[in-house]
Amino acid sequence: MVPLVLVSVLMWGLIVHKLLALKALYRHPLPVEQAVACARTGQRPDSHYVGINSRLVREFLLRRSGHGTLDSHVVDEAVLVVAGGLERGLTLIGVLAAIAPLLGLLGTVVGMISTFNSIALFGTGNARAMAGGISEALITTQTGLLIAIPGLYLRNFLQRRVANLKHQIDSLALTLKRQLNHGEGV
């Protein structure tokens, strides 16, 4: 049970952290027009804009060269940096959710071994000894599933949110590249 508790605490800690981090990226979004204007003038977005567009513009401005063709590649680099940070932790959440039922099955095996040991020692006449092993087996299996099912659901939920944010990043990046390639000089 101790490994299941550790897996659960770690997984839920990561989920809560990721939920809060992604929620912050949806608050006070920088409109695309303002993002393009900031990139064009070289001015950092106001600090109250904490959304994904402002992160992309800030990353772009850190690396910007002032040459249209080169800056087109700088936009791609900024996209990689910002998008890479979005997926951090999702794989670990998925692995922890997948491990939980396996640990539950391990507990089932341990419980059944305990049951068979009690049968070997006391015979089939001692129902209490057998019930303790069977109970241990069932409780660990149930706990593993109770950890895994919401964990997998929330991982998929978080992945959809990340995919939505990546779409926003790609859309803004395409707009910035169009500005760069049409000689308007972002």
Rounded CA gap, 138 and 145, in Å? 11
Phi, psi of 71 (to 5 degrees): -65, -25
What DSSP designation does 4 have? H
Per-residue pLDDT of the chain (186 residues; tens, 9 = 90+): 899 999 999 999 999 999 999 998 888 888 888 888 888 888 898 888 888 999 999 999 988 887 777 888 899 999 999 998 899 999 999 999 999 999 999 988 888 888 888 788 777 777 777 777 788 788 999 999 999 999 999 999 999 999 999 999 999 999 988 887 775 555
Helix (H), strand (E) at residue 65: none
Question: What totals of helices (H) and strands (E) does the chain contain, helices first?
Answer: 6, 0
Rounded CA gap, 102 and 4, in Å? 10
Please tell me whether the overall predicted TM-score, pTM, comes out greater than 0.95 for this model. Answer: no
> Tokens 């409109």 sit at which residue?
31
Helix (H), strand (E) at residue 157: helix 127-181
Rounded CA gap, 165 and 156, in Å? 14
| Contact criterion met (CB below 8 Å) for 2 and 28 | no
| Contact criterion met (CB below 8 Å) for 25 and 166 | no
Rounded CA gap, 103 and 141, in Å? 8
Crossing angle (nearest 10°) for helices 52-63 and 127-181: 60
The four Cα atoms 33, 37, 38, 40 give a dihedral, to 10 degrees, of 140
